[in-house]
A and B are shown apart, each in its own frame.
Chain A
């Protein structure tokens, strides 16, 4: 009965697909950035607590 109500919201199926697409895109973006980040910068940042 609750499911029927939910079907009345247009495009409810899109939610599952939307969540997957958004997360994958987000994850890829971060990963691409990480791979492109320069080593000196990463080294410099990782030493911050020790300064």
Chain B
């Protein structure tokens, strides 16, 4: 058989490695800043571009798509070439992928602080960037499949299956969740409303965790762990079972993010059942990883790479056990909206994604630079300070989460709520200080790693094109005997494999979402629920711009502790005009579902100028610039038209009168404020935000729930 000579592309691997380190540091620094803002409001730095609501999404996006994203591409580009015994399909596509992805990250870093956001978690970027993400993702897939097709290896190793599943599922998730109607270059409205929007968003959100933060790293685990420990994976059969059951089950579990909300009961139950079943494949993967180290634990003592892998895989196991537990309704009742969830995701992000990335960097960089790691001692130091950082982060957050969940629900013997919301805020402040110390330790470790890696890079020389050789595949391969078995045939046909993966993930998505979509989006289930006035709509867009949804939910669950505190529980029919939905996922501040009419306009004015004058001890940033900035009402016509296109019943020709209505309502609020000796002209942004807040939840409050059924 003829042997072919070719070269592996290490330069692209190196580029992604540098990007993951740079954006890792940036993402963690922003994370540290938002963590400090949660106990020291002055850390908002007194301007809108660095206020919590705007830069919290910057932190999450930087970590998920910049730090972890670049780490995925680094890991995939190195291992895919070796597993296929082929250079990447096209150097041009590799470079377009690299630079395109970095440009998207830069675009995110500019637009998010400017308040350009869709407000949907982990999908905040506006529509032009969404399109760019789609194009670059296609380039990645094209390059990957091109490489797989020209491979010199008959069968695809299990790691490649995980990469394929990652590619197809992220593509489906991103496209379905990004359906939005643009009204300008930087503003769009979600195609879906209320309950539907929530269901699509959390189907996306949950599976972004599954297929961006989990499956690519499992694929990398199955490649780099055997490499580092120099023995095959514990059970290849288990890895196959792990793969198919994991991708099949994950996609169904999204509704567990919406327990006790207005989502139909059956969808919630489906989400819970599949979440519990998910323990099996997740732990199958963890056990497979840890057992690969059996008989080699002595190596773990000496090799920092293996230490990072061992803790990373353990963190994966803990997070994937905790996830199903959190999806039990009784646990969720306490945990949801609290810091418990923050602890949960950070065990995954810091432990699993972070430590796996660090392990791969320490293993890979010396190899492509043909040298030894600069300092094993520093790498060990990184391991210990990183592990301490995770503990200092997670333990206070768990404590804080339990405290919040229990205090919110506690009644006095007389049957009244025992604590004001602000009491719970003050109670957990010190825990938030500890959390930021944990984050600082973790960041310090990462900085030490970057130093160590840079030293390693300068000591060695990049082998940009690594020579390799392998026999070419016979083109007229005829499988015989056992080799003709169907799954093996599948492993020879990457395109068939991709199609089957898509079918597997679509089954769950379709079953989950179709029933909700068969109901027409504009069915008016509660007759008193009316569309927002133009001023309220404008205020709502400011609520989105400032990222209020990051700290305030708009979803009162049907518990006595919530209806006593916030008012009548939320009904699905109340959200039919909400493009996008703003239920939120965290209560750093109180729920705002029934905020309308609770306080006077002047209370809101003073509260927004300086929250601590109205609520001593509040950690909310001041929004004084809203009283200075003038409303931009130039596109109110487009907004009304867009909303009508999406099914909101504004009467014909209303867009012509919208501006007039807006000014009239604004004048009313400004005059009302004048009565309380507050001077503010009616064209300021704060006026529209007050109008929106005063509207919240009042449709039902005013009319005592009349259903038209």
Contacts and interface: CB of A to CB of B under 8 A. Distances in A.
A28 to B, nearest CB: 11
B572 A45 contact: no
Given A27-B245, A49-B159, A50-B227, A9 B237 contact: no
Contact of B262 (A2, A26, A30): A2
Interface string B221-258: 01100110011110011001100110011001000000
A5 B244 contact: no
B482 A41 contact: yes
A41 B227 CA distance: 20
Contacts of A48: 83, 153, 155, 157
Given A49-B223, A49-B226, A12 B248 contact: no
Contacts of B519: 5-6, 9
B232 A19 contact: no
Interface in A17-31: 18-19, 22-23, 26-27, 30-31
Interface of chain A, main secondary structure: helix
B249 A23 contact: yes
A36 to B, nearest CB: 8
Contact of B266 (A5, A6, A43): A6
Interface of B: 79, 82-83, 153, 155, 157-159, 195, 222-223, 226-227, 230-233, 236-237, 240-241, 244-245, 248-249, 252, 262, 264-266, 269-270, 274, 277, 482-483, 485-488, 504, 507-508, 511, 515, 518-519, 523, 525-526, 571-573, 707, 709
A24 B572 CA distance: 33
Contacts of A23: 248-249, 277
A37 B507 contact: no
Contact of A3 (B157, B264, B485, B487): B264
B256 to A, nearest CB: 15
B482 A18 contact: no
Assign chain A's interface to a size class. Answer: 20 to 34
Given A19-B270, A30-B240, A38-B482, 12 more contacts: A2-B195, A2-B262, A3-B264, A6-B264, A16-B266, A30-B241, A37-B485, A45-B155, A45-B158, A49-B159, A50-B230, A50-B231
Contacts of A49: 79, 82-83, 157, 159, 222-223, 226-227, 232
Contacts, number: 100
B511 A2 contact: no
B251 to A, nearest CB: 11
A45 B709 contact: no
A33 B274 CA distance: 23
Contact of B264 (A2, A27, A34): A2
Nearest to B523: A5
A47 B157 CA distance: 9
A49 to B, nearest CB: 5
Interface of chain B, main secondary structure: helix
A34 B240 contact: yes
Contact of A26 (B248, B266, B482, B487): B248
A43 B269 CA distance: 41
A42 B482 CA distance: 12
B525 A1 contact: yes
Contacts of B222: 49
8 contacts: A2-B573, A19-B270, A19-B511, A23-B248, A26-B244, A38-B482, A45-B155, A49-B222
Contacts of A26: 244, 248, 504
B165 to A, nearest CB: 14
B31 to A, nearest CB: 33
Nearest to B481: A38
A15 B509 CA distance: 12
A46 B398 CA distance: 39
Nearest to A26: B248
Nearest to B223: A49
Contact of A45 (B82, B157, B525, B707): B157
Contacts of B232: 43, 46-47, 49-50
Contact of A42 (B82, B227, B236, B486): B236
A29 to B, nearest CB: 9
Nearest to A44: B155
Contacts of A18: 511
A42 B237 contact: yes
Nearest to A4: B709
Contact of A34 (B159, B226, B241, B526): B241
A9 B516 CA distance: 10
